[in-house]
Amino acid sequence: GFGPQAGRSIVLIGLMGAGKSTIGRRLAQRLGLGFVDADAEIERAAGCSISDVFRMYGENAFRDGERRVIRRLLDGPSRVLATGGGAFMNAETRGLIRERAISVWLRCPLDILVRRVSGRGHRPLLNNTRPRDVLERLMVDRHPVYAEADIIVQCGDDNVDNSTTRVIEALA
Ligand code: S3P
């Protein structure tokens, strides 16, 4: 099976608002593994927010940094890693994840994503836009690629603990 005893890290992918960080933290607790949020690691490495990285260096530079951070994290001990929604869309990053980790797509309905991201200002792709329009577009572009994940878990319609249980069952 995919059990964490296999020694690989578990990488959560999915759109903004899917619950990657929230479920990831809970999943790590329940599996007795460490948790790392790749976006937070990028901010630490860059010394500024992701919005600032986008503004000052552009999205391509962000994607390069994201790939380096994820590679370094996958070199470390087995753990739960939440990634930003675009990480798995980068072919090299996706290759790394597919080769070295167990990928889990947290698949979430549009309405719930929109509700969760609304009124929060830290996501550069949603600045000065209607989040629903962007997320709808990203769903079309990204879902076919997210579908390459090892495991797909439907989320968003339930509380964090139940969704986490569903991930654990799928990993078993
Ligand atoms: C992005 C998602 C964000 C962050 C950046 C780009 C994306 O992470 O990495 O703003 O391309 O979907 P979350 O999915 O954690 O919001």
Q: Are strands 79-82 and 101-107 parallel, antiparallel or unpaired?
A: unpaired
Nearest CA to ligand 1 atom 11: 86
Q: Is 123 within any annotated ligand binding site?
A: yes
Full-model pTM: 0.95
Residue pair 65/1 in contact (Cβ under 8 Å)? The answer is no
Residue 2: predicted pLDDT: 61
Residue pair 114/42 in contact (Cβ under 8 Å)? The answer is no
Per run of 10 residues, the mean pLDDT along the chain (length 172 residues) is 70 97 98 97 96 95 97 95 98 97 97 92 90 97 98 92 97 94
Q: Which CATH number characterizes residue 94's domain?
A: 3.40.50.300
Total domains present in the chain:
1
Residue 156 zone, left/alpha/beta (φ > 0; ψ -120 to 50; rest): left
User: Which protein residues are within 6 Å of ligand 1, measured from CB?
Assistant: 16, 20, 39, 50, 84-86, 123-125
Please give the residue range of the domain that contains residue 34: 4-171
Question: In Å, how far are 17, 26, 50 from 40, measured between CA atoms?
Answer: 15, 17, 9
